Amino acid sequence: MFTPDLISNMKRAARIVVLTGAGVSAESGVPTFRGEDGLWKKFRPEELASFDAFISNPRLVWEWYSYRRRLISEVKPNPGHYALARMEDVVENFCLVTQNVDGLHRSAGSRRILELHGNIMRNRCMECGRKDESADLDVGDRLPRCRCGGLMRPDVVWFGEMLPQEILNSAFREAEEAEVFLSIGTSAVVQPAASLPLVAKRNGAYVVEINMESTPITSQVDETILGKSGEILPRLVGEVWGIEI
């Protein structure tokens, strides 16, 4: 299933960086964004995952996030998440950069995680910036407010918003120093996350894409393995490090 190049590069690598997207959570039952059952099929990103959408209709946006929070609260990590958590145990320098906001990597035991787009279960005050990790799943008949009176928003990065600078800088530094870079379950269209595999490639990393379909970076990576991450990743850690998931 895996090329000798992939196996030897993974075995030898002291620094492995992984970028994940919604595809890694698909087998847990979390709908992806752009796939057949994708979230964006029902709603358009500009209508919901944007600051303007929130300002013009906070209740609609809050209901969309509550729907997603409830869905995510009922799902579990899948073997792909667990395989990445075990990879971190055996690789000297490992970093997991995720675009996902569902928190499933942490639930699966991953530790060194850079959440590029925030976390859907956390609220942030629009006035004072206070963060609240214990956000309610459902939005009640009154929109959530901070003790300062400010309106709370989901602590995620919307389109047109800057990613958290510190986290983004770390992600680029990790990509520059990676010996092996895995891009998993992402359509590689959202920037700046989608440029990370190419930064790794430009700096000499062996770059492998694991996805259900080819993407805009497929022609620029060393290898693309088409298939489900929940099946491929356990087989990969099994073959490289003898890990049983």
Question: Which residues are CB-neighbours of 151 under 8 A, at least 6 positions away?
Answer: 58, 125, 126, 127, 143, 144, 145
Distances (CA, A) of 10 to 26, 56, 130, 143, 240: 25, 48, 41, 48, 7
Asked if 125 interacts with Zn ion (CB under 5 A), we say yes
Q: Is 148 in the site for Zn ion (CB under 5 A)?
A: yes
- 118 vs 179, beta carbon nearer ligand BV8: 118
Given a contact cutoff of 8 angstroms between Cβ atoms, the answer to whether 156 and 148 are in contact is: no
The interface with ligand BV8 within residues 207-226 (CB under 6 A) comprises: 211-213, 215
Q: Is residue 117 within the footprint of ligand BV8 (CB under 6 A)?
A: yes
Residue 98 CB neighbours (<10 A): 30
Phi/psi at 23 (nearest 5 deg)?
-60, -30
| Binder of ligand BV8 out of 2, 7, 15, 35 (CB under 6 A) | 35
Binding-site string for ligand BV8 from residue 164 to residue 203, where x marks contact by CB under 6 A and - marks none: ---------------------xxx-xxx------------
- What would the x/- binding string for ligand BV8 be over residues 5 to 24, using CB under 6 A? ----------------xxx-
Neighbours of 159 (CB within 10 A): 13
Binding site residues, ligand BV8, CB under 6 A:
21-23, 26-27, 32-35, 38, 49, 99-101, 117, 156-162, 185-187, 189-191, 211-213, 215, 228-230
